[in-house]
Amino acid sequence: MTDATCDEFLGGRVKVFQPKQGFRAGTDSVLLAAALDSSLSGDALELGSGAGGTLLPAAARLSAAHLTGLEIDPAMMELSRRGIEANGFQNRVEVVEGSAASVPPDWQNRFDLVFSNPPFFESGAIQSPGPGKDGAYLESVPLRGWINAMLFALRPKGTLVMVHRAADLARILAVLERQSGEIAVLPVHSYPGTDAKRVLVRARKALRSGPMRLLPARCLYVEKGGPRTEWALGMQQDGRGIDWD
User: How much is the pLDDT for 10?
Assistant: 94
pLDDT in tens, 45-67: 999 999 999 999 999 999 999 99
User: How much is the pLDDT for 2?
Assistant: 63
Return d(Cα 133, Cα 154) in angstroms, integer: 28
Return d(Cα 226, Cα 233) in angstroms, integer: 13
User: Are 143 and 176 in contact, with CB atoms under 8 Å apart?
Assistant: no
- Other beta carbons less than 10 A from residue 67's beta carbon: 26
User: 3-state DSSP helix/strand/coil percent for the chain, to nearest 5?
Assistant: 25, 30, 45
From the candidate CATH numbers 2.60.40.10, 3.40.50.150, 3.40.50.2030, 3.30.300.130, the one assigned to the domain spanning 4-238: 3.40.50.150
- For 11, 39, 82, 201, 219, the CA distances from 237, given in Å and listed in that order, are 4, 19, 22, 23, 16
pTM over 0.95, yes/no? no
Spell out the domain ranges in the chain.
4-238
Low-confidence ranges of the chain (pLDDT < 70): 1-2, 120-139
pLDDT in tens, 160-206: 999 999 999 999 999 999 999 999 999 999 999 999 999 999 999 98
3 state SS of 125: coil
User: How much is the pLDDT for 121?
Assistant: 45
